[in-house]
Homo-oligomer: A and B are copies of this chain.
Amino acid sequence: MSSTFGTLFRVTTFGESHGRAIGCIIDGCPARIPLTETDIQPQLDRRRPGSWALTTPRKESDTVTILSGTDRGLTLGTPIGLTIPNADTKPLDYSAMEAVPRPSHADFTYAEKYGLRARSGGGRASARETAARVAAGAVAEKMIRTFHPVEIVAWVESIGANVAPRPDLATITRADVDKIPVRCPDAATANKMIAAIAEAKQAGDSVGGVIACAVRGVPAGWGEPVFEKLTAELAHAMMSIPATRGFEIGEGFGATLMRGSQHNDPFTAKDGGGIRPATNHCGGIQGGISNGEIIFFRVAFKPVSTISLPQPTAAFDGTPIVFEAQGRHDPSVLPRAVPVVEAMTALVLADAFLQQQVQLIPRPGATP
């Protein structure tokens, strides 16, 4: 199901960058969860373009409206329809592109797949649709946090070769991350990142980077082996975000350099009874199921494809042409992608949490 994500907490999105509106339907949210637009708008604001000099000048208020599914501030258990208007559209920005597929953009593959060339500025492939995901993710978070104090915090760990040291995963907050608009919680690295982005913008080029994410408060037991392991669902969710190129959890590719005796997380007694892992190389997920420790993963983003530098390429008909992008584009998507990563994490966890409920049904005395 290509525009639907989830089995029990299901989100279906619609909308392109230049249609009337984008939005989504959230189906399967339990009833009686407190929910109004004020629960959703903050994450949308964090994703919004136009809030920082180094990002797209396209100014959208991205105001969300709840069309259904709530009554007097509580969810009804029925589908929640959300819509966000596309207010700032300039179709002519992209009109020249129809004969020329933009390098590394989805124009070529969409034409091959669907047999037409959409004039809608990248259409569904544009990052505009991620706004609907962010809205849905905020609802997912509200739902989960009704039951468990889960905290999802993502940040920009690197831009190019500028890599921030790891913060304390037990205490990092979104407020820490938002102190600087580039969303790196280490001030020194943040300054280098800003410089790198500004330099790329000046050069008409773009840069990539890595977003790291920590999740606290997830109890043990979430995840559905074998094909809906929590690791697989997170990987799927992150790699569905435009511009992603890699995903790793815990020690990630670094684990391939370790020995089992180093990478294993043995157990230790927990205060109050039971046990917990003594270390956390696995990033909070063992055998595809959460183990109660902090979930930690990293997502790699390529440098944005749309750059102003002239690019020798070919038109659809094979004619050599030098392509120079017009219009508005970000030299780096990383800071704006932070709430998108958080939203996709929330969607995965919401679904895993609801699916786990079947194992928790109280057992009455009478059995056949």
Contact = CB atoms under 8 A, between A and B. Distances in A.
A147 B361 contact: yes
A84 to B, nearest CB: 10
Interface string A264-290: 111111100111011001100011111
Nearest to A244: B231
Interface residues of A, number: 170
What is the copy number of this chain in the assembly? 4
Nearest to A303: B260
A227 B363 CA distance: 29
A300 B248 CA distance: 8
Interface in A1-30: 1-5, 7-8, 10, 12-16, 19-25, 27-28, 30
A311 B278 CA distance: 12
Contact of A3 (B25, B112, B220, B245): B25
A286 B277 CA distance: 40
Interface string A307-318: 101011111101
A269 B313 CA distance: 9
A65 interface: yes
Contact of A1 (B7, B67, B120, B261): B7
A356 interface: yes
A124 B314 contact: no
Contacts of A282: 104, 302
